């Protein structure tokens, strides 16, 4: 996505002097598959407002495509996700919840991993990708329209 | 400088061709789905992408192993549960048989029922999954694990070897329960002993069978719980691997693959630019004498 302009939204660490010097989001255990990467920021993608990038501060040009749960209409599979998160003590008031997206190239659609959302505690910017023990949550929830 | 009509034409045609070339390049990206075709395109990202692709392939193999292992474990768990239920049924007959209100005839009838329970337990012990004996150890295809003689003495013919599947890097999980563990629970021996005690109207032996069957039930439950715990662990590992692969895919789609969202977004912009150029050309070339007169 290097040709797309991005702006730092959360967890900036002096990447842009004009922005406040916020701490990065700390992922103590990294992310599944990328356990060594522990510091991230969230970038908005200007040309694609709903989509964001979870970008590593530890490895150059490393980003995951994510979408905030807050912009989605909570229904169907997402209701189950929200209910499951609440049961685990994770509320949208206290946490920013991001869904990691994957492109299904054959069908040309995005899918979201509802089984393992990225949860960022707003208070101290501690993040974790939590694997939820709920069989009804798919790892490839079809996201046709945002 | 005087701008002639031919200069306008040349300009708009060049603009149109530039847009068309750009559009063609992006369309090519979309159709191939690859931004990095060879290491020299971007050596760092290429190496990293190959590494992550290999990790994804490994993870997928582990996931496949888990799915296969889970089938085996689910079958084992299910069969052990059914054998456990039979021991409970047998113990219920034992409790009935131990009641002083029953005489030899009633106990003989109960003995017949327990004999049928024993047959069912042996049949379950010789169950198969995908045409392989579940409780034969690694000896899954030759002889039935539990052989039985005319007196219903049961002997184990399999081995004690573990069947394992690699479910993570450097981690193998045992997915089977060898039949000697079932045999050692005393299930066949104790059900047979109860049958014989009922048929011989021996209340002391019947009461002993109640105690022994309780112990058997406890051991079977423990074995079942162990299988269940392994299966749960495998399930959690599978979800973690799937999550890792989702993350890896999410990353790869932005580097190795042409990011479809980006390409489509650009395609839209370029297509508009191309159409705009066409429109300008059309306007420019279609100028006629009337346009100069107005």
**Option in A47, A110, A139 nearest B243 (CB):** A139
What confidence tier does B282 reach under pLDDT thresholds 50, 70, 90? very low
What confidence tier does B78 reach under pLDDT thresholds 50, 70, 90? very high
Q: State the count of interchain CB pairs (< 8 A) between A and B.
A: 82
If you measure CA to CA, which chain A residue comes closest to B250? A102
Q: Do B247 and A61 touch (CB under 8 A)?
A: no
Strand partners, A7: A44
Q: Do B45 and A32 touch (CB under 8 A)?
A: no
DSSP, collapsed to helix, strand or coil, labels residue B197 as helix
Closest CA to B14 of B292, B280, B245: B280
Q: Do B240 and A31 touch (CB under 8 A)?
A: no
User: B53-77 pLDDT, tens per residue?
Assistant: 899 999 999 999 999 999 999 999 9
Question: Given a cut of 50, is residue B30 above it in pLDDT?
Answer: no
Instruction: Determine the pLDDT at residue B259.
Output: 52
* Range with the poorest average pLDDT among B6-10, B167-171, B279-283: B279-283
**Option in A61, A64, A139 nearest B242 (CB):** A139
Q: Do B247 and A32 touch (CB under 8 A)?
A: yes
Q: What is the mean pLDDT of residues B80-97?
A: 97
**Option in B59, B248, B265 nearest A48 (CB):** B265
Question: Given a cut of 60, is residue B23 above it in pLDDT?
Answer: no
Which residues of chain A make contact with B45, given a CB cutoff of 8 A?
61
What confidence tier does B91 reach under pLDDT thresholds 50, 70, 90? very high
Question: Given a cut of 50, is residue B281 above it in pLDDT?
Answer: no
Q: Do B260 and A61 touch (CB under 8 A)?
A: no
Closest CA to B266 of A4, A108, A106, A51: A4
- Mean pLDDT (chain A, rounded): 79
- Cβ within 8 Å of residue B242, ≥6 positions away: A115, A139, B59, B63
Question: Given a cut of 80, is residue B186 above it in pLDDT?
Answer: yes
Q: How far apart (Å, rounded) are the C-alpha atoms in residues B149 and B229?
A: 35
pLDDT beneath 50, residues of chain A:
1-8, 11-22, 145-146
Cβ atoms of residues B63 and B121 within 8 Å: no
What confidence tier does B27 reach under pLDDT thresholds 50, 70, 90? low
Instruction: Determine the pLDDT at residue B271.
Output: 46
What confidence tier does B269 reach under pLDDT thresholds 50, 70, 90? very low
The per-residue DSSP string of A119-145 comes to EEETTTTEEEEPPP--TT--SSEEE--
- Cβ within 8 Å of residue A94, ≥6 positions away: A121, A122, A123
Give the residue, B33 or A24, on which the prediction is more confident: A24
């Amino acid at each position: 996505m290097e040709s797309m302009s991005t702006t730092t939204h959360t967890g900036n660490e002096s990447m842009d002097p004009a922005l406040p010097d916020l701490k990065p989001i700390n992922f103590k255990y990294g992310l599944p598959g990328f356990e060594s990467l522990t510091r991230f920021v969230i970038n908005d993608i200007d040309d694609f407002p709903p989509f964001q990038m979870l970008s590593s501060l530890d490895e150059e040009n490393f980003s995951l495509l994510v979408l905030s749960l807050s912009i989605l209409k909570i229904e169907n599979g997402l209701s189950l996700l929200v209910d499951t998160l609440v049961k685990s003590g994770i509320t949208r008031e206290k946490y920013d919840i991001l869904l990691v997206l994957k492109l299904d190239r054959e069908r040309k659609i995005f899918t979201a991993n509802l089984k393992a959302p990225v949860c960022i505690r707003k208070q101290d910017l501690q993040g974790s990708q939590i694997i939820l023990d709920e069989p009804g949550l798919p790892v490839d929830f079809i996201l046709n329209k945002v | 400088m005087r701008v002639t009509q031919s200069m306008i034409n040349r300009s708009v045609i060049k603009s149109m061709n530039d847009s068309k070339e750009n559009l063609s390049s992006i369309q090519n990206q979309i159709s191939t789905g690859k931004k990095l075709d060879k290491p020299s395109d971007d050596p760092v990202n290429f190496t990293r992408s190959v590494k992550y692709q290999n990790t994804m392939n490994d993870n997928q193999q582990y996931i496949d192993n888990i799915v296969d292992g889970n089938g085996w474990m689910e079958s084992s768990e299910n069969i052990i549960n059914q054998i456990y239920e039979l021991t409970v049924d047998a113990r219920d007959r034992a409790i009935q048989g131990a009641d002083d209100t029953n005489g030899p005839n009633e106990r003989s009838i109960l003995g017949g029922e327990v004999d049928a329970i024993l047959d069912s337990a042996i049949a379950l012990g010789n169950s198969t999954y995908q045409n392989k004996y579940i409780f034969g150890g690694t000896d899954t295809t030759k002889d039935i694990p539990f052989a039985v003689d005319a007196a219903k003495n049961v002997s184990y013919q399999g081995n004690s070897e573990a069947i394992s599947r690699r479910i993570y890097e450097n981690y193998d999980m045992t997915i089977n329960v060898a039949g000697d563990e079932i045999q050692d629970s005393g299930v066949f021996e104790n059900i047979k002993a109860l049958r014989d005690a009922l048929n011989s109207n021996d209340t002391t032996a019947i009461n002993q069978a109640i105690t022994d069957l309780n112990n058997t039930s406890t051991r079977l439950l423990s074995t079942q719980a162990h299988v269940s715990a392994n299966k749960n662990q495998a399930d959690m590992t599978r979800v973690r691997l799937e999550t890792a692969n989702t993350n890896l895919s999410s990353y790869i789609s932005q580097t190795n693959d042409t990011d479809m969202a980006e390409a489509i977004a650009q395609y839209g912009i370029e297509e508009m630019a191309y159409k705009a150029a066409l429109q300008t050309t059309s306007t420019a070339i279609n100028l006629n004498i009337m346009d100069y007169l107005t």
